[in-house]
Chain A
Amino acid sequence: MSPRPGFVLEVDRSTPPTLFWHGEGFHLERLPVGSRVIYPPEPLPALTDPDAAIADALEHPLGDTPPLRALLRGGMKLTIAFDDVSLPLPPMRAPDVRQRVIEAVLDLAAEAGVDDVVLVAALALHRRMTDDELRHALGERIFNAFAPHDLLTQHDAEDPDNLVHLGLTDEGEDVELNRRAVESDLLVYVNINLVAMDGGHKSVATGLSSYKSLRHHHNVRTMEHSRSFMDRHHSELHTSNWRMGKLIAEAGVKVFQIETTLNSNTFPEQFGFLQHREWEWTWKDRAGFAASSKALERTPPELARRIFHSIRSPHQLTSVQAGEVGPVHDRTLEHVHRQQLVTVEGQTDVLTMGLPFISPYNVNSIMNPILVACLGLGYFFNLYRGRPLVREGGVVIMSHPTPWAFHPVHHPSYVDFFEQVLSETTDLHEIEAKYENAFATDPWYVHLYRTSYAYHGVHPFYMWYWCAHALSHVSKVIVVGGDRAAVRRLGFSPATTLADALEMAEDVVGRDPSITHLHAPPLLIADVQ
């Protein structure tokens, strides 16, 4: 039986309560009659033989490029870059797709006699991956073969000796990239395209670049004009990256792009209820929900966090395509949309969402308040094509505990951003003008980014900018069940219950508003008609 497409449910009196994520937990909420709930399509079937599919993609590339085998030769310099720990979410069960793809690439390189091979984790300004994380992404075999010889590297956007300035785009944007990648005869980039934003020219132009380069598209103006950044043809973020990609190609950097898509089989069996529609819950789903909820009620937050971050997702490969960046990415988007697109008729006055425990930037870490804002208003709000799910002037209601807590190693500049910057203003433009440069160039943050496991000093700014479109579009943001002081610091309104939040929303959108709930994750993209 083929998987069912996405579905928009209209809540009536017989509809069971709807599951809302709430950080390291979840709860059932009864939505008002007439509300809509958007469910993602069911998981697509996995490729039956992923290794064969990968080999086939490398042999039959898309676009104007020969097979990978033909691009490899003895004596050449080969660099393989790969997506970092921010993908996929949650981390997938071994073997990770990156391991499968890179093993295939390395087999071909070995056959061709290529012995100058370096692996680069494409961190951009993210934190470095730990050895355990690298082992998980690449497998023991690759890790043990490369890491001891310093051939498994992590991109350092603050190492001037290992960056090359390739020039300016037509719009005057600096393109500065990882030196090893630029000076290689071939750069293979291995992507995991979890959402439509990932991949394309963004892989190299962002993943292997510096702050000098990134600031041209990671800024308030660009994010306000990315509507949405899940829709590349209406995303200024992507337009800028594509300009950079063009310059990179003109500079002679030969990129062989490999993109992979996963199905939405996101949670292991014991959390099966998270994958199913509530009215179809089996006794096992009900028992799983009841047992998990009860257990979590008594679990200290730190332990709950550890339990959730130990989840390994049963994601499966649904497609792999390789070759020239443009054609590869177009094909990838088709697969992503096949898995995630849901047609939705019209916008809503109030958009509700339950935010889970994880975002791209807190893998094995704490979801601090800035990341809560970014996940809700950056990622979930932008999970649309056409028009935003919520109308202009509408209200977003997010459910998350929003603890006033930060990971001291991973997010040092976030603490300062939250305590200093957001305590003075939440205005995006003012923050960008007044504070960004100081944080971006602070030698302490630079030191921690380079030598510890810290996100770059400027990273919390980007997370805040990620909310730019939503913040200029909606009238009010309400957080249900969050730390009240932290929610207020973000400039949002705290509410104790969903009912309270809906009542507060009525002050803005009037009585009897239309309400839509985004039932994610698993992730979906609303194609708003």
Chain B
Amino acid sequence: MRALVFERQLARFAASRVAADLAGSGRGVAVGPLELGEIEAPDLPGAGFVRVAPRLAGICGSDLATLDGRSSRYFEHIVSFPFIPGHEIVGDVEGGALDGQRVVVEPVLGCEARGLAPPCPACAAGNRGRCERIAFGRLAPGLQTGYCTDTGGGWSQSLVAHESQLHPVPDRFSDEAAVMIEPTACAVHAAFQGSAGGRRVLVLGAGTLGLCTIAALRQYSLPGVLVAVAKHPEQRRLARELGADHVVEPAEIVRAARRLTGSLALTGRGGALERVTGGMDVVFDCVGSADSLAGALSVVRPGGEIVLVGMPGPVKVDLAPLWQREVMLKGAYAYGTEETPSGPASTFDLARDLVDACDLGQLVSARYPLERYEEAIGHAAAAGRRGGVKIVFDLRRRPRRGRGVGTDDKETP
């Protein structure tokens, strides 16, 4: 099968990091450890596993961080090489009880997929994202499909997944809408991690995760005031459309937080605002960089919360305000089971409903064939600047005029 494979090659890993540092995110792919090749499809690891033929597979911010060589060494023990990236997947099941059905893959590889019984307390409670055994069991280490050598990943023509990972997609969903369910689930989970109801909330970042978090907060948390920080015009438009009450540019964040909370502020030289003394109740950091975390700390109120939604790497941040202002910093990773007013609900089910309600399929901006992966990854890294949001690989087989069956090799923004 055709697949993009990420090898453990330290020299190329370093080269991609240098290229990304010099030329920007996504520019190190050509020299990095990702390669397109013809390889054997992964074997079925055991009972309950089936093959899935991806239709669309998204390019996520965490994929870009990995390709840029910016991801944390923390992950070294919970990924296995070589792996096929891609964890935002809609595809067709081949075999098993769901044979022939279109599904999205819930990529976290918890106890059930790993054949571990009894499951760890987190998996038993339905919070697979917190699984304590992601490096153990019948699968090689890997926190998710797309980072595990045994399962394959979405950037290929075939992967294996445990039936517990599969969520059938209603017929009314387009493939574009379906591929948005996984990132939306991350956003829904983040919304439930923060205490946003009726409060003054700020979402930092308006890429896929930021925009989906805005939609999730509006749908499930009912914040009092929802402020979005967005860099690019199309992001600002979408942030408003998805429910932000106010949308501001990154340079305006402190002034906006001050204005909207009626806070006092501390100024630097020339009268420029540096940080507010009160501030927002909850900040969702959907970027995960040192700058974004410092930004969050400059606008969150004493006793407030920062929910870290975007995947961070090693960052250098002054935590004095976190300490002095007794701010709670909380991570929001993946998905599981959420406590809703009507009882526990699967994050994926809530995400599916949200994609449907808010037409989040519209966030898919361009599709590329695997062969054009360098271009696709470059586009994903510059998506905001180029007026896009989610870039996906298109693995669907379509009849070509006069040429039989093959992949559509046209970018369709």
Q: Residue A512 at the B interface, CB < 8 A?
A: no
Q: Are A408 and B264 in contact (CB under 8 A)?
A: no
B262 touches A442 (CB 8 A): yes
Over the window 487-506 of chain A, the binary record of Cβ atoms lying under 8 Å from chain B Cβ atoms (1 yes, 0 no) is 00000000000000000000
**Is B127 in contact with chain A by the CB < 8 A criterion?**
no
Residue of A nearest to B259 (CB): A416
A-B contact count (CB 8 A): 30
How many angstroms from the CA of A419 to the CA of B265 in the assembled complex?
18
Residues of chain B contacted by A420 (CB below 8 angstroms): 246, 256, 259
Known: A442-B262, A444-B262, A444-B265. Is A419-B270 also a contact (CB below 8 A)? no
Q: Verify A442–B259 contact, CB threshold 8 A.
A: yes
Alpha-carbon gap, A407 to B270, bound state (A): 9
Decide if B270 touches A409 in the complex (CB within 8 Å).
yes
- B265–A409 touching, CB < 8 Å: no
Asked if A408 contacts B270 (CB within 8 A), the reply is: yes
Contact across chains for B271 and A412 when beta carbons are under 8 A apart = yes
| Complexed CA–CA distance, A452 and B271 (Å) | 10
* Contact yes or no, B264 A447, CB < 8 A: yes
Q: A416-B255, A420-B246 are in contact. Are A443 and B271 (CB under 8 A)?
A: no
Contact B256 A409 (CB under 8 A): no
Complex: chain A residue closest to B264, CB-CB: A444
**Quick one: which of A415, A438, A452 contacts B255, CB cutoff 8 A?**
A415
B250-270 vs A, CB cutoff 8 Å, 1 = contact: the mask equals 001001101100111101001
Which residues on the A side are within 8 Å of B248 (C-beta)?
419
A370 to chain B, nearest CB (A): 16
Which listed residue, B259, B262, B271, touches A409 by the CB 8 Å rule?
B271
Chain A interface residue count, CB cutoff 8 Å, equals 14
Query: At the interface, yes or no: B222 with Cβ under 8 Å from chain A?
Result: no
B11 within 8 A of A: no
Given A420-B246, A420-B256, the answer on whether A443 and B262 have CB atoms closer than 8 Å is: yes
- State the majority secondary structure of interface residues on A: helix
Q: Does B272 contact A (CB under 8 A)?
A: yes
Known: A443-B264, A444-B265. A419 touches B272 (CB 8 A): no
Q: A427-450 CB contact bits vs B (8 Å, 1 = yes)?
A: 000000000001000111001000
Q: Which residues of B contact A416 (CB under 8 A)?
A: 255, 259
Contact residues of B between 210 and 262, Cβ < 8 Å to A: 246, 248, 252, 255-256, 258-259, 262
- Chain A residues whose C-beta falls within 8 Å of the C-beta of B270 in the assembled complex: 408-409
Q: How far apart sit A419 and B258, CA to CA, in the bound complex (Å)?
A: 13
B278 → A minimal CB distance (Å): 9
Contact: B271 with A419, CB < 8 Å? no
Taking CB atoms, residues of chain B closer than 8 Å to A412 are: 271
**Known A-B contacts A419-B252, A419-B255, A420-B246; A444 and B263 likewise in contact (beta carbons under 8 Å):** yes
B246 proximity list for chain A (CB < 8 A):
420
* Interchain CA distance A415-B259 in the complex, whole Å: 11
Query: 1/0 per residue A414-425: CB within 8 Å of B?
Result: 011001100000
Instruction: Write the nearest CB–CB distance from B116 to chain A, whole angstroms.
Output: 53
Chain B residues with Cβ below 8 Å from A452 are 271
Query: Interface code A452-479, partner B: CB below 8 Å = 1, 0 otherwise?
Result: 1000000000000000000000000000
The complex places the Cα of A438 from the Cα of B270 at a distance, in Å, of 25
Q: Which of B120-155 contact A (CB under 8 A)?
A: none
Residue interface bits B262-304, CB-to-A below 8 A is 1, else 0: 1111010011100000000000000000000000000000000
Chain A residue numbers with a CB within 8 Å of B272 are: 408
Which residues of A (372-421) have their CB < 8 Å from a CB of B? 407-409, 412, 415-416, 419-420
A443 CB contacts on chain B under 8 angstroms:
262, 264
Inside 8 A of B259's CB, which chain A residues have their CB?
Answer: 416, 420, 442
Once bound together, how far apart are the Cα atoms of A420 and B258, in whole Å? 12
Closest to B269 in A: A408
- In the complex, the chain B residue whose C-beta lies closest to that of A439 is B259
- In whole angstroms, how far apart are the Cα atoms of A420 and B270 in the complex? 22
Which residue from chain A places its CB closest to the CB of B246 in the assembled complex? A420
**Shortest Cβ distance from A460 into chain B, in angstroms?**
13
Task: Give me the interface of A with B, judged by CB distance under 8 Å.
Answer: 407-409, 412, 415-416, 419-420, 438, 442-444, 447, 452
Known: A443-B262, A444-B265. 11 other contacts (CB 8 A): A408-B270, A408-B271, A409-B270, A412-B271, A416-B255, A419-B248, A420-B256, A442-B262, A444-B263, A444-B264, A452-B271
Q: List 15 A-B contacts (CB under 8 A).
A: A407-B271, A408-B270, A408-B271, A408-B272, A409-B270, A412-B271, A415-B255, A416-B259, A442-B259, A442-B262, A443-B262, A443-B264, A444-B258, A444-B265, A452-B271
The 5 closest A-B pairs by CB, nearest first: A408-B271, A409-B271, A416-B259, A444-B264, A408-B272
